[in-house]
Amino acid sequence: MGGLGDYKPAMGMIAIQFIYAVTTVSSRAAFLKGMSPRVFVVYRQAMATLAIAPVAYFSRENSARLSLGWRSFSWIFLASLIGVTVNQNLCFEGMYLVSSSMSSAMMNLVPALTFLIASMTGLEKINIRSLRSIAKIAGTVFCVGGAISMTLLKGPKLLNTEFLTAKSAFGSGGQNWLLGCLFLFAGSCCWSLWLILQVPISATYPDSLSSSAWMCFFSTLQSAVVSFFLEQDPKAWILHSKFELACCLYSVSRSGLSYFLQAWCISRRGPLFSAMFNPLCTVIVTILASLSLHEELYIGSLVGAVAVIIGLYVVLWGKAKDPEESQTVSNPELQNNEARNVRVLIDESSDKTSCTIDLKEPLLPSQSN
């Protein structure tokens, strides 16, 4: 029997999920207290830029001082627009309209949606005779079906009655359940597209830390433009409490700790072990939100969330089989790229909203470009 050290990776992953859960619940609490989700995105990305830009500049080696050419600029700007600006505005708006627990559950769709988009674009090969391909297809169907159930089949209420203020740009929260779910689903699609876009970004601008800084900077400007047109109240830019400021700071600073813990856990137990803990965040968020925010919980949402989690595990199982089956392939480079595909897809899907990137290799096989 092992000692306490054998349980440290599991304890670390549980701590990470608690960090994510607290971020989700505290962000929605700030929205309910009157903070605009669109202004929150601007402040969050601005603080992230101020935090990461000096580190990215002084940590770059002489050989890594790459100029931001037009091609790399275009890819990074597009990734910032889709994966950060649009994604975070949709997710936070959907979180406000629906609930933090629904937001957390919807983000479990990311691995399945990434597989679906990669298959449609030819970056992921499908072999219907392969058990792993069948597993990934079946898992994707479970995830999407669960998301549809969460959206359309509310069913009887299990917990709480929720009261919202009218801070959304699209109406009051109680009358926009379907719209909020659509926002969350669209946000998950945007995050999956962001993962796909890491392939051309890593090829044209391999300095991942510097590209992170540029992405945070571009998303700050883009989010400010979006807020300028959607936020009609000038007073919304004023932080009215220390709690709102703390939420903005915590949403940025928590990324550093979570990245450190997750990298350490993956080095000890592997990426699949890390990904297996992702649904725990949904459970923690549901409990915390029910106790502190009195969020509504419906039977249909619960059943759909379970289906999404089952689909997530099936997709991850199929991805975990990639390196095993690729050992029979004579091309060793294909095997290595498939292994990197599994590692980055699972690792990036665990962080829901952070713009910080730590990619050393492309998300998907380079020979598919």
pLDDT per residue over 163-187, tens digit each?
444 454 444 444 578 888 899 999 9
- Number of CB atoms found within 10 A of residue 70's CB: 8
Query: Which of 111-120, 189-198, 217-226, 349-358 is the least confident region?
Result: 349-358
pLDDT surpasses 70 at 355? no
Entry pTM:
0.75
Identify which of 46, 36, 40 has the alpha carbon closest to the alpha carbon of residue 220.
46
Arithmetic mean of pLDDT over the chain: 76
162-171, 224-233, 340-349: range with highest mean pLDDT: 224-233
Do residues 296 and 162 make contact, with C-beta atoms less than 8 angstroms apart? yes
Task: Summarize the confidence of residues 87-104 as an average pLDDT.
Answer: 89
Tell me what pLDDT residue 255 has.
Answer: 60
Q: In this predicted model, which residue has the larger pLDDT, 161 or 207? A: 207
The domain locations on the chain are: 8-59+67-368
Which neighbouring-strand residues pair with 297? 159
Confidence check: pLDDT of 55 > 70: yes
Residue 3 pLDDT class (50, 70, 90 cuts): low
Give the contacts of 284 (CB within 8 A, at least 6 positions apart): 17, 18, 21
How many helices (H) and strands (E) would you count in the chain?
A: 15, 2
Could you tell me which residues come within 8 angstroms of residue 353 by beta carbon, excluding any fewer than 6 positions away? 23, 87, 88, 91, 251
- The per-residue pLDDT for 9 is 82
Q: What is the DSSP letter of 17?
A: H
